[in-house]
Amino acid sequence: MEDVMEIILNKISSLAMEGILFEVSATPKPGLVDRNNAGAHKDMDYFTFMSSAAALHDTFDIFVRLGWEYRNEPIESLLQSLRCVGVKAEHRMFAFTNGVNTHKGMIFTLGILCGCAGWAIGKMPLSTVNLSRLAARMCKGICMREYTDLEHKTTLTKGERMYLKYGCTGVRGEVEQGYPTVIQILPIYSKLRSADICINDALVQTLLHLIADTCDTNILSRHDMQTALFARQCAKEALRLGGIFTEQGKESIENMDQVFIERYISPGGCADLLAVTHFIYSIENSELLKYNILIGSQSEYVEV
């Protein structure tokens, strides 16, 4: 039984790391680091992301195992421990990248889900619905707690600044609501993967949908709402032309990339959600993880 548990825990954390590596490798990605260029960034490139990923290789395993350790506790009690691990992971990331923020958002968004998955093993299927509901339960009230009295703080995070200026709850709002953006976009990615589209093209096309449908706080923090809306319109136009699957669409994506680079537009929030989308898709479609319930004490699936 212990060997089976080790395999399951390792599988979940490996899929999280796969999401991180697949996201940065997908090419072309307008304004983002990929195998073609550094996007709208002067302080990082593809190899910076590889170095950062190396620094984080065991972090997601720790997240999953923490969830498993807390399996007999209310899931709400897991959040603080996950965040402590996340802070240590950020320090390792910065040490490997010479202070460049490559994966801070992913540490949080994927870390929450890894903890939820570890907690759920043996209790319920690792389905999109269950992971979403567990994340929402764990993070309930996080926005109210952390966006209160910001006017009196001397140092604000990027997310806090965007909340004060635009009312956008950003990544905290995403996890507290159970990743609604990912749930909305997941059927698109699933359909592309089931159609035997190559992974790279499925990721790029899904990213366009994310940019088109998301008010990216990373763009907001660099620019303003008008620029964020401009980015969404560019993605919609690329999709209208067929996206990665047509010559016109590819040309539109390439033009979009150049414009984003010139205007310093980086949809980094969407990049994080792309990695999360791949992670959840992979969890749901893993034959091994479909049967995690068999190692638990319950004989039937339990939905939360």
Q: For residue 216, give the CATH number of its domain.
A: 1.10.4200.10
Q: What pLDDT score was predicted for residue 298?
A: 43
Contact 235, 211 (CB under 8 A): yes
Tell whether 296 is covered by a domain. Answer: no
**How many whole angstroms separate alpha carbon 78 and alpha carbon 76?**
5
Distance of alpha carbon 107 from alpha carbon 57, whole angstroms: 11
Q: What is the extent of the structural domain holding 5? A: 1-141+157-289
Q: DSSP assignment, residue 103?
A: S
How far apart, in whole angstroms, are the C-alpha atoms of residue 92 and residue 53?
Answer: 10
pTM, entire model: 0.93
Question: Residue 302: inside a domain, yes or no?
Answer: no
Closest by CA to 62, choosing from 82, 76, 77, is: 82
Region of 300 on the Ramachandran plot (φ > 0 left; ψ -120 to 50 alpha; else beta): beta
pLDDT at 165: 87
CB atoms within 10 A of CB 198: 11
Locate 277 and state its tokens.
Answer: 């989308």
Residue 55 lies inside a defined structural domain of this protein: yes
Distance CA 5, CA 292 (A): 9
pLDDT mean values, one per 10 residues, the chain (304 residues): 84 97 98 98 96 95 98 97 98 96 96 97 92 98 89 82 88 96 98 96 99 94 94 99 98 98 97 98 85 49 46
∠ CA(244), CA(219), CA(17), 5° rounding? 65
CB atoms within 10 A of CB 35: 13
Does residue 218 lie within any of the structural domains? yes
Burial zone of 80 (CB within 10 Å; 0-12 exposed, 13-18 middle, 19+ buried): exposed
- Please, is 254 exposed, middle or buried when counting C-beta atoms within 10 Å of its C-beta (0-12, 13-18, 19+)? middle
- Whether 223 maps to a domain, the answer reads yes
User: Does the bond joining 180 to the residue before it have cis omega, within 30 degrees of 0?
Assistant: no
Question: Do the domain assignments include residue 298?
Answer: no
Six token digits for residue 222: 């660099």
Query: Residue 9: inside a domain, yes or no?
Result: yes
State how far the Cα of 121 lies from the Cα of 293, in Å rounded to an integer.
6
Whole-angstrom distance, CA of residue 270 vs CA of residue 32:
10
Separation in Å, CA 206 to CA 211, 220, 239, 252: 9, 21, 10, 15
In a domain, 116, yes or no: yes
Question: Count of domains in the chain?
Answer: 1
CB 149 within 8 A of CB 164: no
